[in-house]
Amino acid sequence: MSENELQVKKIENGTVIDHISAGKALAVLRILGITGAEDFTVSVLMNAKSKKYGKKDLVKIEKRRLTTTEVNKIALISPHATINIIENYKVIEKFNVKLPEEIVDVVKCANPTCITNSKEPVTPKFKVVEVDPIKLRCIYCNRFTTVDDIIKQFSGEEQ
Amino acid sequence: MNFKNRDLITLNDYTTEEIKSILEKAREVEKYEKTREKRTILQGFVLATLFFEPSTRTRLSFESAMQKLGGSVIGFAGPEATSIAKGESLMDTVRTVANYADIIVLRHPRMGAARAAAEAIDIPVINAGDGSGEHPTQTLLDLYTILKEKQKISGLNIGLLGDLKYGRTVHSLSVALGRFKNNLYLISPESLKMPRETIRDLRETGIEVHETQNLSEVLPELDVLYVTRIQKERFPDLEEYNKVKDAYKVNNALLERGKENLIVMHPLPRVGEIAYEVDNTKYAVYFRQVKNGVIIRMTLLGLILGVFE
C-alpha cells in the first residue's frame, strides 16, 4: 500500500479521480457540483507526491459516477487525470480523461465581444492550442480562452 | 486553384500561393477596369451587402465593384430600417437573404460573426469586418497596394502605427505581411499593443517583430509606414481614449527623416493622425489604396462567383 493510499481511506463504491494537476482538486469538486453538503464521503488529497508529475491532487467520491460532460470538463483543467470506477473496493474500470481536438459547447469564449457571447444561436467551439495548461482558441473570434478563464466559468464566478 | 463558392472570412483560410494568385488576377482586372471590358460578366448575379456597422469605403467599394462587372446589389447600410430593429437575429437575417442573393458581404460589430453566418448558409460570405477581428479584403487591397508601389511584397521593413489592439485591419495585415516574410515594426502606445494571439501568429511565421512606442526611432528603417486611426468607438472607457488619442502625428517634418522612397498608407477614415499637408507629397498612397480596393473586390467577386478562371 502506497503512502498516498494510507492518507486517504479506500472507498467501497464510487469514483476515484487520480493524477489531477496539483492544486486543481477544488476546481474538480466545483465541476462536479460538490459543496460538502452531500450525504456521501468525499476525500480530497492535495499536493501528494507523484512519480510521473512530481505533485498531484486526488479526489475520492463515494456513491457517485461521473457523466461524460463532467469527465470532459475535468479533462480541460486537468488533462492527465485518470478516472477509476470502484465497486466493492475494487477498480472495475479505469480510464484516462481525453481531450477532443475540438471542444464544443462545454466552455464559453472568454472574449465578451465574440458572437458566441451574444443572443445569436451560435454554439461555442474551440480548437485546443495547448494541452497543459490548457489553452483554447475560439474558431469564431480566434481569441484564446485559458485555464484560468475556464476554472472561473466552472466555479460559477463568471456567467 | 479554385475560388468558386468559397467564403472569405480570414486570410488564414487561404494559402500564400492562393493570395499571390488573387493579386496577380487583380493586375489583369485592373486592365479591364480601365478599358471597360467585361462590364457584363456578372450580369444576373446579385450581391447583398449587409452592414450592421457604419462604413463608407468598404460598402460603396463592393457595390461599385459589383456594378462595374454588370451585377446588381441589394442590402442595407445600418440595421435601423430592417427587421433587426425588431429583434431578428443575424442568423435568421442571413438565412433569409441567402434566398435573395448569390453572395453576401457582411460587416458586424461582433467578432466571429462572419464565420458564424457562413456556417449557417450555403452561398459564399465575404467578411467586411467583424468587430475588432478581421477585415481580409482590406488586407488584400493593402498587399496589392504595396506590390504596386514597391514591386514586391517580401523583404520590406514595414511599420504598423497606432491602434494595434482594436484596429482589425492591422491584425489581418500583420499576419499576411509575416507570411510574405517582411520585418515588422509594431508602433503603439502601451495600452494599444498588438493582441497576444496576433503576436503568436506572427512569431509562427518566423519573421522579426519589433514592438516599440517610439515612432521617430524606427522611422529611418521603414519602407512602408501603415498608419491607423485610434478608434474612439472601440474603447470601453472614454478616459482611456483621451489618454492616447493624440499619441502620434505624422507630418512632413517627420517623414523627411525617413527613407527617400518611404510610402505612407492608411485604411481610412483618418481623423488627424496624418496631417493634410502629407496628402500631396510623394509619401502619400492612401487614396490610391481606395482605388485598389475596388480592383481587389472586383477580382474577388469574379473569382468567388466563378466567372474568372
Q: What is the pLDDT of residues A41-89, one digit of tens each?
A: 899 999 999 888 899 999 999 999 999 889 989 999 999 999 999 999 9
Rounded to two decimals, the pTM is 0.87
Residue B246 has pLDDT above 80, yes or no: no
| Residue boundaries of the structural domains of chain A | 3-96, 102-154
Per CB-CB distance under 8 Å, the chain B contacts of A138 are 112
- Are B164 and B188 in contact, with CB atoms under 8 Å apart? yes
A116 CB neighbours in chain B (<8 A) are: 112, 116
Please check whether the two domains, B11-134+293-304 and B136-290, share a CATH topology.
Answer: yes
Residue of B90, B109, B116 with shortest CB distance to A140: B116
Q: What is the pLDDT of residue B263?
A: 97
Contacts of A139 in chain B (CB under 8 A): 112, 115
CB A150 within 8 A of CB A156: no
CA-nearest residue to A138 within chain B is B112
Domain boundaries, chain B: 11-134+293-304, 136-290
Q: Is the pLDDT of residue B82 over 90?
A: no
Q: What is the pLDDT of residue A2?
A: 55
A3-96 is classed CATH 3.30.70.140: yes
- Taking the CA of residue A117 and the nearest CA in chain B, the distance in Å comes to 9
A-chain residue closest to B88, CA distance: A120
For B189: left if phi > 0, alpha if psi spans -120 to 50, otherwise beta; the answer is beta
Distance CA(A140)–CA(B114), nearest Å, equals 8
* Interface confidence (ipTM) of the complex: 0.86
- Give me B214's grid cell: 517610439
CB-based contact B111 A113, cutoff 8 Å: yes
Cell digits for B103?
453572395
| pLDDT, tens digit (0-9, with 9 covering 90-100), for B65-79 | 999 999 999 998 887
The answer to whether residue A5 scores a pLDDT higher than 60 is no
Residue B245 has pLDDT above 60, yes or no: yes
Shortest Cα–Cα distance, A152 to chain B (Å)? 21
Q: What is the distance between the alpha carbons of residues A82 and A78, in angstroms, rounded to a whole number? A: 9
How far off is chain B from A139, nearest CA to CA, in Å? 8
When the pLDDT of each residue in chain B is averaged and rounded to a whole number, the result is 93
Please give the CATH number for the structural domain made up of A102-154. Answer: 2.30.30.20
What lies within 8 Å, CB to CB, of A112 at 6+ separation is none
The DSSP symbol for B284 reads B
Strand partners, B47: B73, B103
Distance between CA atoms of residues A134 and A145, nearest Å: 9
pLDDT at position A6, please? 53
Q: For the domain made up of B11-134+293-304, give the CATH fold.
A: Rossmann fold (3.40.50)
- B145-189: per-residue pLDDT in tens? 999 999 999 999 999 999 999 888 898 899 999 999 999 999 999
Q: Which CATH number fits domain B136-290: 3.40.50.261, 3.30.450.20, 3.40.50.300, 3.40.50.1370?
A: 3.40.50.1370
Which of B91, B109, B133 shows the shortest C-beta gap to A142? B133
Q: By percentage, how much of chain B surpasses pLDDT 90?
A: 75
pLDDT, chain A, mean = 89
B73 CA: distance to closest CA in chain A (Å): 26
Q: How many CA atoms lie within 13 A of A100 on its CB side?
A: 12
Confidence of residue A1 (pLDDT cuts 50, 70, 90): very low
Element (H, E) at B17: helix B16-35
User: What average pLDDT score do residues B222-228 get?
Assistant: 97
Kindly list the strands in the beta sheet with A54-62, ordered across the sheet, starting from the edge strand earlier in the chain: A42-50, A54-62, A14-21, A82-87, A90-96
With a cut of 60, say whether residue A114 has pLDDT above it: yes
Cis omega before residue B124 (within 30°)?
A: no
pLDDT for B306 equals 96
Categorize the per-residue pLDDT at A159 as very low, low, confident or very high, splitting at 50, 70 and 90: very low
Q: What is the pLDDT of residue A110?
A: 96
How high is the pLDDT of residue A157?
A: 61
Which pLDDT does position A3 carry in this prediction?
Answer: 55
Residues B104, B106, B159, A110, CA torsion sign: negative
Helix (H, G, I), strand (E, B) or coil at B50: strand
pLDDT at A36 (0 to 100): 85
Question: What residues have CB less than 8 Å from B203, skipping those under 6 apart?
Answer: B209
Q: What gap in Å lies between CA A111 and CA A85, rounded to an integer? A: 37
CB contact under 8 A, A139 and B115: yes
DSSP characters over B120-188: H-SS-EEEEEETTS--HHHHHHHHHHHHHHHS-SSS-EEEEES-TTT-HHHHHHHHHHHHTT-EEEEE-
Half-sphere exposure of residue B260: CA atoms within 13 angstroms, side-chain side: 0
Is the minimum CB–CB distance between B234 and chain A shorter than 8 Å?
no
C-alpha cell at A44: 480530497
Q: Which three cell numbers stand for residue B135?
A: 477585415
- Per-range mean pLDDT, top range of A32-46, A51-65, A86-100, B114-128: B114-128
